[in-house]
Structure 1
Amino acid sequence: MVNLADFQLKAMGSLIESMDDTNQEVMFKSPTGSGKTIVLTHFMYQYGQGHFNNVFVWLTPGKGELEEQSKDKMDKYIHNSSTKLLEEVMTEGFKENDACFINWEKLTKKGNNALKESEKENFQDLIINAHNNGLEFIIIVDESHQNDTVKASDIIDLFKPKKIIRTSATPSDYPNATLIEVNEEDVIAEGLIKKMIVINEDFGQSLEIDSQVGFLLDKSMNKQEELKAALKQNDSSVNPLIVVQLPNNSEVMQDEVERYLATKDITYENGLLAVWLSDKKQNLENIEGNDAKPIVIIIKQAIATGWDCPRAHILVKLRENTGETFEIQTIGRIRRMPELRHYDNDLLDSCYLYTFDEKFSEGVQLHFGNGALKGKKLFLKKEYRDFTLISEQKSILGAPKDAQQSLKTLVSYYDQQYGTSTKTTENKTRMETKGYIFSDKIIKNTFSGKIHTLTVEEFQNLDKIGMVEPLNTHTHGREYHNRVSTLGTKIGLSYEQMNTIVRRLFDKTVNYSRKILRLDTREVYAFVINNFEKLKEDFREAMASTFLQITSELPVVSEKPFYIPKEVLFTYNEKNRVQREYISNVYKGYLSSAEVRSDSEKTFEKYCNESEKVDWIYKNGDKGNEYLSIVYRDNSGTQKSFYPDYIVSKSGEVWIIETKGGFNRSGASEDIDKFSPKKFEVLKRYIDKHQLKGGFVRKDKSNNELFICMNNYNDDIQSEEWKLLDDFL
């Protein structure tokens, strides 16, 4: 099995939990390039290990092959998994824990043999037999937006599924479905997709052109050469690809594109041009390879579903006079990172869209919000090119991701929260007093009473009834597996790692010096099942707590000189009515309409530009080795990089500033970052070490003033720790 990224583990855990909620349907929204198939195949495996009598049916769109690709991926990721295609289902039927990959068209296409009456049992009979054998179906609808039809709905109804999981990067609205959404920022942070989409870079405010085809293709080819040169400097052989999307029914425009490219010596004959249209396919063999020869591919709107070409970097969308539906999947084709990592270079970590189609451009911005902004290149003013600080970077080797630090964290948490020690008998009493259940039987609750009106109060007044059943290691063994797996996903650990922690903490047959309880194996099963919700809450709190003083080795870091990057890709909101240049910024042409910026950041940048005390200000990046970073460990021992928001000079004195959510008019905190106190300590350590100044800056909305905290972190604006910024900076 492959190692899942933290966001993938979290998504898998949410899918497992969603199986127990009352909604029949689940909507799994995951950006293109986020490893959706990896998450779903691991979900099927883990859920099947923890539950009886399930069959998974994965329905894929398109004219074929995608179901085979998905099956092959599961066979690759999950060894010994029971995967089947439709042909095998027709000969063998459905069996427990089967993962059946079936193409929609083979079920819905008129005259298909799979649903014809014949001497064999037909498909419907196989489903009926499965139900008669006590099996239940969990349906996964891949790219669900493409098969939202009556016929597709009828097929799903055949299975009488206990759960339907619909997956898409652009899901339709299912108001009664449980929504599980992978955060795009998390996928970007893992380096799987590009940081941003740059639309019509350096187009200026007005244009005079002879031909949209020539102008847009020239822009894209210049960018392709720039990307190729930068990749070569990074010792990469990736050959960035331009995707030219034609409007449907546009043979004249296709001819114009091909003739113009021929003037640049990009042709089918020399292998630099490829085409993927329904009536013409050329030079497609191995085009997905990072070093493949074609540099341009011509497509239309309906490019084949499932086509993955991570080296695709640039999209040229040619305008359709009649207007065309915005297809987010097309943008998804240029968002993947070709080598599954960022290059710490804004040029290479972005993708590029060139178009005169205003509706399409607006569609991109509407869907991606701040991820699709106007961009232009800014250059560092000469007087700041020699400025330097020390930047900390994580060790290339890093720290092996194991359960040791998480184990120490949990011991420390239980010591502080429950007063536990090495006296396990006393620990049991302390934990029981605070709500933990101890029994060698499985205890579950139901309710009894009368409801007159559907109000929360009436439900709360129902009588709780405890149901007790003997522990069955066969039946409850799967439930234990399921619970431990879910606990692991909450703190970024695999089932195996989480099971090791549980055994060391609670199982008397496993040696560990700081054991909290000494239960026999049957009692451990019951303890985890009976206390699942409480364990989940405590484990999550332990990893997020900032009051724990975990003793661990200092992070292994390398210290390198930090210089302000000489050029930067600057993104801004071109529709903002105020486009004021901030003269105090280290970059020439830096605008007040800079995005993405929080309210506190916007207020702080405006403050610095208007302050006579500030010499200059630099907005630090939030990912990448080219920016100023400070390394620390979180409670699980994982190395993290903290990127402070700003470097500011005041009368030659260097300040490092981190801005956070402010305080509302009532004084309540709007900072949603649980780790602010920990990050404050990290920043203070760095400032003290290098004899600098700085702190956290937050906005008080009751008076619209900025305040700074420099010594001891406090989340109360009334605290003396918060000083008026104007008195110091």
Structure 2
Amino acid sequence: MLVELFPFQKKALQNLRMNTAEALGSYRRTHTPQVVSFTAPTGSGKTIIMAALFESILFGDERYPEQPEAIIVWLSDSPELNQQSKDKIDGKADKITLSQTVTITDESFDQELLDEGHIYFLNTQKLGKSSNLTKHGDSRQYTIWETLRNTAREKSDRLYFVIDEAHRGMLGREAGRATTIMQKFLKGSPEDGLEPMPVVIGMSATTERFNTLVKGTTSTIHKVVLTPDEVRASGLLKDRIVITYPEETAVRKDMAILQAATDEWRKKWRHWQQYCYEQHYAYVNPIFVVQVENATSEKISKTDLTEALRTIESRAGYRFEKGEVVHAFGEKETIDINGLEVAYYEPSGINDNRKIKLVFFKESLSTGWDCPRAETMMSFRRAKDATYIAQLLGRMVRTPMQMRIQVDESLNDVHLFLPYFEKNTVEEIVRALQASEGGDIPTDIYGEKM
């Protein structure tokens, strides 16, 4: 690995390796399907731990022999999440070559069996009935179901099937559909000619979410659990999520709270600037994320983007330049906001672009997004969007320097501003956040009169 694992990650890796080896051995002896449940909270580095596990399986370690013929399949519910996971493995696992990681696409994939020594990435959309991968045709002799079935039957002693339930991009009905497809690999699917996978490694952020996934299976379950306290002690998670909302109904409270959010973002700028200068660290460059409403028949967003940008610039005393403001709307086109050219930017690349200061988005940022630099967020959404907001917050609790800041407490917080929420609807967000990301995420809530 090109990165040094934290002690808690090394411990999780050891437990995962042991339980995976035991699961494979149990399947060989009994032919009973095995599930290794890996539960770890947001921010714990699950993908990095899994990358280290794959290296250990393929190339061996001090306790286990190499298994170069191993086949690993990674299933998630989103193409972008798959790409993000693949990029992390390609970038951090130096023993695994780029040619060993393969994204299964419906244009060209047609194999009787999966190749040994490879890691395949597959998403649930590719397994729907409308997908070309599930159909025979002039250019496809084997459907993906047949490929997986054949591989499980003939190479069960070297097949590891990973279900990434921890990073969910889908919500609502789409999430339910994705869960149903994921369960086919745990329970089997007679209509697709599929038996349960021999060994499944299920990644999840909470025990409850994993229990929902494995409900009704007859598999033997091996559990590996990472606690939030272990992760927080490492400095990888923020200390607090501070949620600010109006206690009283106010006229035009959204722009007043946007001003307060801008003040918080500028304060973060000054504090990070001072800290990085004094400690001789590379500058963090915190990002301000603004969640706006969906499109109408006339406009790209019901929120007045021109007024929002004008308010932020006026309050910050700063005129943005081209490239400093981007959007992540589903309409992937360059737009004009208050005379500024604002281009679309892939969410997964935002954190690494040091020029970006302000991001407008609707719902898409919660999918495939890791941005520790995003420490201030304002949302124009209403209370019915509590789950979207909670899912996004779960992506913002990571610390940008992968450590706790001892000399400035304010740099250990992430701030969320919600003009259209009140105390009871804010509590809905907290419940949704704890349900999706782990029950012990620290949340400090207070009202702020504007």
What's the TM-score, normalizing by structure 2? 0.71
**Which of 73, 91, 103 is residue 57 of structure 1 equivalent to?**
73
**Within-5 A mapping of 1:207-606:** 207=248, 209-234=250-275, 235=277, 236-248=282-294, 254-265=302-313, 270-281=322-333, 282-285=342-345, 287-289=350-352, 291-295=354-358, 297-303=359-365, 305-320=367-382, 322=384, 324-325=386-387, 327-344=389-406, 345-355=408-418, 356-358=420-422, 360-366=425-431, 367=434, 368-369=439-440, 371-374=442-445
Aligned match for 1:36, one of 38, 46, 51 = 46
Alpha-carbon distance between aligned partners in 2 of 1:86 and 1:321, rounded to the nearest angstrom: 38
Secondary structure at the residue paired with 2:328? strand
How far apart, in 2, do the equivalents of 1:293 and 1:125 lie?
A: 45
Change (3 A) 1:56 1:370: closer
The 3-state SS of whatever aligns with 1:291 is coil
Cα deviation, 1:374-400, whole Å, max 9, x if unaligned, reads 3699xxxxxxxxxxxxxxxxxxxxxxx
SS state at 2:387 partner? coil
Contact 2:293 2:302 in 1 (8 A): no
Per-residue deviation at 1:173?
A: 3.2
Amino acid at match of 1:10: K
Q: Which residue of 2 aligns with 1:101?
A: 121
Does the 8 Å CA contact 2:37/2:202 hold for their aligned counterparts? yes
Aligned to 2:17: 16
The residue that corresponds to 2:205 in the other structure is 169
State the shift of 1:149 in Å.
3.4
- 8 Å CA contact retained: 2:134, 2:145: no
Please tell me whether residue 199 in structure 1 is matched to residue 243 in structure 2.
yes
The answer as to 2:165 corresponding to 1:126 is no
Aligned residue number for residue 677 of structure 1: none
Provide the C-alpha distance between the structure 2 equivalents of 1:314 and 1:220, rounded to a whole number of angstroms: 7
The corresponding residue for 2:35 is 25
CA RMSD of aligned residues (A): 3.5
Deviation, 1:33, is: 2.7
**Partner SS, residue 382 of structure 2:** coil
CA shift for structure 1 position 227? 0.5
Determine if contact 1:237/1:290 at 8 Å carries over to the other structure: no
CA contact (8 A) 1:217 1:316 kept: yes
How many pairs does the alignment contain? 372
* Contact 2:375–2:414 under 8 Å retained in 1: yes
**Cα distance change on mapping 1:61 and 1:131 into 2, 3 Å:** closer
Larger radius of gyration, structure 1 or 2?
A: 1
3-state SS of 1:361 partner: helix
Gap runs ≥5 in structure 2: 27-32, 189-193, 216-220, 334-341
- Indicate how the Cα distance of structure 1 residues 264 and 150 shifts in structure 2: closer, same or farther if over 3 A, else same: closer
Q: Alpha carbons of 1:360 and 1:179: their partners in 2 closer, same or farther (altered >3 Å)?
A: farther
Contact 1:115 1:124 in 2 (8 A): no
CA contact (8 A) 1:42 1:78 kept: yes
CA shift in 2, pair 1:334/1:258, >3 Å: farther
Give the Cα–Cα distance (whole angstroms) in 2 for the partners of residues 244 and 264 of structure 1: 10
Name the counterpart of 1:46.
56
Contact persistence 2:390–2:430 (CA under 8 A): no
In structure 1, the partner of 2:82 is 67
2:208 paired with 1:190: no
Higher helix share: 2
CA contact (8 A) 2:326 2:356 kept: no
Query: Counterpart of 2:372 in 1: which secondary structure?
Result: coil
Distance 1:92 1:227, change over 3 A: farther
Counterpart-to-counterpart distance in 1, 2:399 and 2:12:
21
Q: Following TM superposition, by how much is the alpha carbon of 1:278 offset from its aligned partner in structure 2, in angstroms?
A: 1.1
TM-score, with normalisation over the residues of structure 1?
Answer: 0.46
Higher relative contact order structure (alpha carbons within 8 Å, sequence separation ≥ 6): 2
Task: Give the Cα separation in 1 of the matches to 2:103 and 2:82.
Answer: 8
In 1, Cα distance between equivalents of 2:377 and 2:16: 33
